[in-house]
Structure 1
């Protein structure tokens, strides 16, 4: 017998796995195209790959904000891109952004649920990961009043100034240690002493 029985079963299992993977890729890409054609209200940027979307364009040599700015010049102030298989709206006009965050804030406040936000956000307890609802409103109110209010920012101003002074002095010490002292840096250090 030319082929042994275990080799034959392993090769058939490998071929079956490859065919299932190709079938899965085709099924996902058709599903993405179908959902895109159903809700084609906003213009969609071209060049999306089936599973990656536009991530290959955002990870190139140019920074992401430059790439998105070029896309907004081409497609208008509001358009959609695919981040993986997730459809995402890109807004580059302050009027439309104001409309999104004032009139339609409930629709834009929800974040997509997933495993990473659940783990990183302590079961959606952090404000950046929590879905819109009563808990989110309470946490937002506490953050606005207790952390980001003008009075609290003014009260904690000395801490930010001390941290800035310490970091500039640390940079200066590292430059002196490496004999790369620049005259401008000495002047900046003297300003903060």
Structure 2
């Protein structure tokens, strides 16, 4: 008899649990739609591992390809570059807003473990994320390394390097000319020597 009573109370408990599950699901989806961040649409034809990198390779330059994608997807869209997502902004007004009004949000670089190790915990200027440390490094670089006085002090070094490079180029021309005034020069070899 007790077994019969326990089975007879099962349908109301089952109905109540379905009702509670449906209520929780409705509340969760409505709150998710309210608090959900708006994201830019993603361009199509993404491959699982490489993302959209295969689209950027081709006979056209990447900026033309991205312009064509902007005509299809709109002025703001995202592409996957490997596992990372990149925001593409092709509208003048939106780009100005990103670079002037919201510049601090877009100023930082992605922090990766490799860059943390290679740059000694982001101590290098080019790899440091935006913040107090980066501002101090930039201030130091502009006031001490790239100031007019410092550039004038090191002018003789740049001039001597240019003179040496031109002398080597002229000597190479003297050796290789065969009656004509033009000589084919591969600059990679000359630039590799200078390092």
TM-score range, shorter chain: 0.5 to 0.7
Q: 1:61 to 1:119 in 2, by over 3 A?
A: farther
Task: Sort the Cα spacing of 1:57 and 1:126 in 2 relative to 1 into closer, same or farther, 3 A.
Answer: same
Query: Structure 2, unaligned stretches of length 5 or more?
Result: 1-35, 185-195
Indicate if the aligned counterparts of 2:176 and 2:183 stay in contact, CA closer than 8 A: no
Partner of 1:133: 131
Aligned residue for 1:46, secondary structure, equals coil
Query: Greater Rg, structure 1 or structure 2?
Result: 2
- CA deviations over 1:14-48 (Å, ceiling 9, x no partner): xxxxxxxxxxxxxxxxxxxxxxxx75632432221
What aligned pairs does 1:27-42 form with structure 2 within 5 A after superposition? 41-42=39-40
Distance between the aligned counterparts of 2:174 and 2:72, measured in 1?
49
Structure 1 residue 141: Cα displacement: 1.3
**Cα distance change of structure 1 residues 80 and 177 upon mapping to structure 2, 3 Å threshold:** farther
Superposition TM-score, scaled by structure 1 size: 0.59
- Using the TM superposition, give the Cα deviation of residue 53 of structure 1 relative to its aligned residue in structure 2, in angstroms: 0.8
Output aligned runs, 1:33-52, within 5 Å: 41-52=39-50
Cα distance in 2, alignment partners of residues 176 and 80 from structure 1: 53
Cα shift readout 1:147-168 (whole Å, capped 9, x = no counterpart): 3345544554554444344334
Which residue in the other structure is 1:34 paired with? none
Query: Per the alignment, do residues 114 and 160 of structure 1 end up closer, same or farther by CA in structure 2, a change over 3 Å counting?
Result: same
Q: Following the alignment from structure 1 to structure 2, what is the Cα–Cα distance between the partners of residues 183 and 118?
A: 48
For each residue in 1:29-85, what CA deviation from the matched residue of structure 2 results, as whole angstroms up to 9, or x when unmatched? xxxxxxxxx756324322211121111222334443343343344444432211112
Cα distance between partner residues in 2 of 1:50 and 1:88: 15
Aligned residue for 1:141, secondary structure, equals helix
2:87 aligns to what SS in structure 1? strand
Superposed counterparts of 1:179-190, under 5 Å: 179=177, 182=181
2: distance between equivalents of 1:66 and 1:166? 40
The CA RMSD measured in Å over matched residues stands at 3.2
The superposition leaves residues 65-108 of structure 1 with CA deviations (integer Å, 9 ceiling, x where unpaired) of 34334334444443221111211112345544443233222211
Q: Distance in 2 between matches of 1:93 and 1:158?
A: 45
Cα distance change, pair 160–65 in 1 and its aligned pair in 2 (3 A): farther
What pairs up with 1:19-168 in 2 under 5 angstroms? Answer: 41-93=39-91, 95-153=93-151, 156-168=154-166
1:174 paired residue number: 172
